[in-house]
Structure 1
Amino acid sequence: MSATALLLDAYPLLAQGEIKITPKAPPESERLLNIVRYISWLAMLAGIASLIYAGGKFGWERFHGGALESPKIVLGALIGGILSTSAGGVMNAIVTGGG
């Protein structure tokens, strides 16, 4: 059987209309979501602690002189914070189809 004949046979089935799907959460999904929320909270806390540490180190470096390494720490914390906070939105857009 050719591909054209298969498509012509399947057309009435495909043209019936919209297929309705009702999403249902998998079992124990609330536990997984709770773990993800804790990880998100810890990532935010680590970013805040990193910014506080970098601020203190920046003051110490300015007072005592020497190489300035703290701007790298601040930049790393900011990039990490942007990535960790945007990850949820990106995944939500992927899962829901951009809506």
Structure 2
Amino acid sequence: MTTSQLLTDTIAPLAQQVNITPEQPPGANGLIKIVNWLSWFVMLAGIAALIYAGGKFAWERWHGGAVEAPKIVLGALVGGIIATSAGTIMTQITSAK
């Protein structure tokens, strides 16, 4: 037996396709419900941060002082973009093709 034939016979079983059927793990419905609740909380927190920043904008405009509201708005917007992108990325990764 030659070396190349021995190598081919050894590696051939590793190259075969394995068919896997995905199954939902036990308790996944509860986990999905918690993740949905967290996504609603993140959205509501972002809206609350934008409302707070709007009020702070008005307060800073009326009374002067340090301008901190743009940082809050920027943080809320970046956080919203990250939260929205995470959901889309995970949907694309976990969707069956």
Normalized against structure 1, the TM-score is what?
Answer: 0.79
> Is residue 2:66 matched to residue 1:67?
yes
Q: Percent identity?
A: 55
Aligned-partner SS, 1:35: helix
How far apart are 1:93 and its partner, in Å? 3.3
Matches within 5 A, 1:45-56: 45-56=44-55
| Cα distance in 2 for residues equivalent to 1:85 and 1:10 | 44
Match of 1:9 in 2: 10
Aligned CA distance change for structure 1 residues 60 and 12 (closer, same or farther; 3 Å) = closer
The number of residue pairs the alignment matches comes to: 94
How far apart are 1:87 and its partner, in Å? 0.8
Deviations 1:23-69 (A, max 9, x none): 11001100000000000100000000000000011011111111111
Gap runs ≥5 in structure 2: none
How far apart are 1:6 and its partner, in Å? 4.6
Write the letter of the residue equivalent to 2:10. Answer: D
What is the Cα-based RMSD across aligned positions, in Å? 2.4
Aligned-partner SS, 1:66: coil
Write the letter of the residue equivalent to 2:53. Answer: A
Match of 1:93 in 2: 92
